[in-house]
Structure 1
């Protein structure tokens, strides 16, 4: 009994340690004072200042645009690649899985500098195009890792049975395989979307002077001096990601209840 309470205590302590800074940030985003050393009274003026800042709004536009484009493309590429890897066996399959794991295990700075060097070699001007390509390359391995477990759960003879009953390969893909692995595809898309919004290192090395996203903008704001606008912006980003996670998990739980 004592051991169970100790486990709960340590678990609660761990969550407090992880989320106390975020709660502190969210509380002081409503502070009327400029400095976090003193809480004046509840105010939304920093949210108002944030939403009236043209640089922030432009950075938000590029962040959402790049996240949506890169997430859709990386989800398509990742799903197709995962299906291909699942159909392979032996050494070629192990080789491709190891290659796919390299960008995941590598520090972001290695991937960022490698992509930057590649763009310089091919003389591609840095801007929105290079930023989108970099985010697609960065996100695709995570989509593959999200889709592969769902493909392994498919019955081995399901595709053969569909083809034997007269279904074409394209019909089998659309009506049988994709619906079965849809939770993995959705999880991969959300993973790619959150990684794109959250990323700084890849964006910093592969964007141009005329294109910036929220992570780069927050970095430049922090260099000029901490502002309560950063607290407000971070709070909005945290709430957005939290809502996406709840929607994804709620949809998966709802589908499980329907299957029961």
Structure 2
């Protein structure tokens, strides 16, 4: 009983530690006072004022654009890397390849950002691309960073899959690409969605890599917030953060809802197929039973 109470207490404490700052942030985004830490009543003027702050809104839209591109590219590259690591058991350099895939997980972001900056500078001198650093270079940096997380998540899911389902489909005449699209992808869809949302959140939150590889006119929201916080937190920052929190929460809920519905539909279809197969087997006559006269 005491152990149960202690576990519940730790759970409540952990939830408060994680979500209490978010709740306080949302509440103070409606603060009418110019001073962020002094409550001056309820007001929505900071949300209305965001429409006039073109610099801040530009950085928000730029960060969302980069995060969307990063999520798509990271899911594609991370999934391919996961298939190589899980489905190709033996090839030369497999350990080295696995180390390269997971290296961004343990590599300090300062080292990664500096190495990518030197790479872009060297490429600009050798081949003339990129001519200037901006959204493209930030997208490449975030993709290399987030693809490692997607590879780890998808690899864990692929190792748990029942390969007999794919083998049965190929035995029935399905081509490998059709098995991949109609069977493998639906079964790993939750991990793909989780990797995509993780990549989106990591890209939206990144400050270090973007600071190294960004250029004029490509300031992201974390960079804008960091520059503003050094001079003091402005009420508009709370409003922007609340809107971003709302958008991410809504996107997470939608991904969870559609993924769960797809999983339930898949389980229902499998159960229906099993029941139909059992019914057909019951209707077929037993060849061992002798025909009656």
Query: Do both proteins adopt the same fold according to a TM-score greater than 0.5, normalized to the shorter chain?
Result: yes
Q: Does 1:11 align with 2:11?
A: yes
Q: What is the CA distance between 1:226 and its match in structure 2?
A: 1.6
Aligned to 1:23: 23
Query: Which of 242, 263, 284 is equivalent to 1:235?
Result: 242
Aligned to 1:225: 232
Larger Rg over CA atoms: 2
Kindly report which structure 2 residues correspond to 1:85-124, keeping only aligned pairs within 5 A, or say none.
Answer: 85-90=85-90, 92-123=93-124, 124=130
Q: What is the CA distance between 1:188 and its match in structure 2?
A: 1.3
Equivalent residue pairs, number? 260
SS in 2 for 1:183: helix
C-alpha distance in structure 1 between counterparts of 2:164 and 2:10, whole Å? 46
Aligned to 2:162: 155
Q: How has the CA–CA distance of structure 1 residues 129 and 36 changed in structure 2, closer, same or farther, with 3 Å as cutoff? A: closer
Once the two structures are overlaid, the 10-residue window that deviates more, 101-110 or 12-21, is 12-21
SS in 2 for 1:43: coil
Unaligned 5+ runs, structure 2: 125-129, 269-293
1:127-167 CA-to-partner distances (Å, cap 9, x unmatched) read 12211111111111111112112211222333333333222
C-alpha distance in structure 2 between counterparts of 1:183 and 1:93, whole Å? 26
C-alpha distance in structure 1 between counterparts of 2:73 and 2:18, whole Å? 33
SS in 2 for 1:42: coil
1:195-228 CA-to-partner distances (Å, cap 9, x unmatched) read 1111111111111111111111111221232211
Root-mean-square deviation over aligned CA pairs = 2.0
C-alpha distance in structure 1 between counterparts of 2:193 and 2:17, whole Å? 30
**8 Å Cα contact 2:81/2:101 also seen in 1:** no
C-alpha distance in structure 2 between counterparts of 1:16 and 1:147, whole Å? 30
Q: How has the CA–CA distance of structure 1 residues 58 and 36 changed in structure 2, closer, same or farther, with 3 Å as cutoff? A: closer
TM-score (norm 1): 0.91
Unaligned 5+ runs, structure 1: none
